Amino acid sequence: MMGGDNGLAATAPGVAQAISQHPDLHCLLVGDADRIRTAIKGIEAQERVQIVHASESVDMHESPASALRSKKDSSMRVAINLLAQGQASACVSAGNTGALMATARFVLKTLPGIDRPAIIGALPRPDGHVHVLDLGANVDSPAEILLQFGLMGDSMVRTLEGVQRPTVGLLNVGSEEIKGSETIKQAAELLRTSRLNYIGYVEGDDIFNGSVDIIVSDGFAGNIALKASEGLAQMLIRVMREEFSRGLLSKIAALIAAPVLRSFRDRIDHRRYNGAMLLGLNGAVVKSHGAADELGFHHAIGVARLAAQNDLVSHIRSDLEEFAPVERANA
């Protein structure tokens, strides 16, 4: 566990929070041993924290191919090797997403029946959250891949959240049957005849209105939706701060409204939704947002812990095996 824009300044305290909250958690911290040792000084329960040295690190802007080829002792690679060897139950990284996906795919391989792993993440809605996949690992996904996304998302939500028949929607530009590309129409047909609780097309605004549990999308549109939402939320917080600091009366209003505004922010705080799973691999890999702070990284560790405890990967594998022939016959 390392990396990200903020490096150890965010990950080390994030580990400290997670260790203190979860008495069952053990962490292997992979990276420059000296620097990690300094960063975790003062962490309690050090007996549950172990350092694994790695001599290199993958740059945030390095190409996945270069990371894979020339960084055999990067913290990312070493961490995923530990997962492959069964020495870790899950892996969390705040590093370069493309390199993480390429490395995980190369080392862990994909599950039978899965052509391309996907990134699944949670987004807030008024009464909880919705899971969206793919968030950017795959562009130009054909219909069969979109079906695989739906199957994996369904397995995950059933396994980790205990929802019996989560609803699945397909992200499209209109809810009428006439809209969308050929790929979307084909994917809709595959989803309709699958074992999934498919409810049809959903639009961008359905992400946030609580109408669906899982949203299937190609990684291009999924990433745009995610990033646009992040950008809008950031702008709104900035504009609100500006308004509340404009003149004395506004500042007084800000003081009085502070508890309400804090409670509002907590409910939509993107850090509480940090930790996107890389689904479809022989191992539980979690991507923490590059810009995540310690609370965000702590939440990403929580996602990894939940996946490991519930043996998510085995559940996805057996779900795919059980239903694969039916899916293929229908396709």
The stretch near its own copies (CB under 8 A) out of 20-28, 83-91, 239-247, 312-320 is 239-247
| CB nearer its own copies, residue 89 or residue 211 | 211
CA distance 260 to 276: 29
Nearest Cα neighbor of 217 from 228, 203, 231, 232 is: 203
Site residue total, its own copies (CB under 8 A): 65
Structure tokens at 168: 């699945």
Nearest Cα neighbor of 227 from 298, 294, 132 is: 132
Nearest Cα neighbor of 102 from 80, 85, 87 is: 80
| CB nearer its own copies, residue 179 or residue 328 | 179
CB of 208 to its own copies, least distance (A): 4
The stretch near its own copies (CB under 8 A) out of 43-51, 83-91, 245-253, 278-286 is 245-253
CB of 47 to its own copies, least distance (A): 40
| CB nearer its own copies, residue 72 or residue 179 | 179
| CB nearer its own copies, residue 37 or residue 227 | 227
The answer to whether 215 and 201 are in contact (CB under 8 A) is no
Of the candidate residues 21, 46, 87, 209, the single one contacting its own copies (CB under 8 A): 209
CB of 123 to its own copies, least distance (A): 9
CB of 173 to its own copies, least distance (A): 4
Does 248 contact its own copies by CB under 8 A?
no
Question: Which residues, 6 or more positions from 329, have their beta carbon under 8 angstroms from its beta carbon?
Answer: none
Does 260 contact its own copies by CB under 8 A?
yes
Does 223 contact its own copies by CB under 8 A?
yes
Coil, helix or strand at residue 198: strand
Distances (CA, A) of 313 to 211, 216, 253, 327: 27, 19, 50, 19
Q: How many residues does the chain have?
A: 331
Distances (CA, A) of 131 to 59, 124, 150, 261, 274: 29, 9, 11, 26, 12
Does 173 contact its own copies by CB under 8 A?
yes
Residue in the block written with tokens 């899916």: 327
Does 157 contact its own copies by CB under 8 A?
no
CB of 279 to its own copies, least distance (A): 18
Does 55 contact its own copies by CB under 8 A?
no
The stretch near its own copies (CB under 8 A) out of 48-56, 110-118, 197-205, 309-317 is 197-205
Residue ranges in 22-96 assigned as alpha helix (H): 33-39, 64-70, 75-84
Does 253 contact its own copies by CB under 8 A?
yes
Helices 312-330 and 294-309, packing angle to 10 deg = 70
Write out the residues near its own copies by the rule CB under 8 A.
61, 63-64, 98, 124-126, 136, 139-140, 171, 173-174, 176, 178-182, 203-209, 217, 219-221, 223-236, 238-240, 242-244, 246, 249-250, 252-254, 256-257, 259-261, 263-264, 267-268
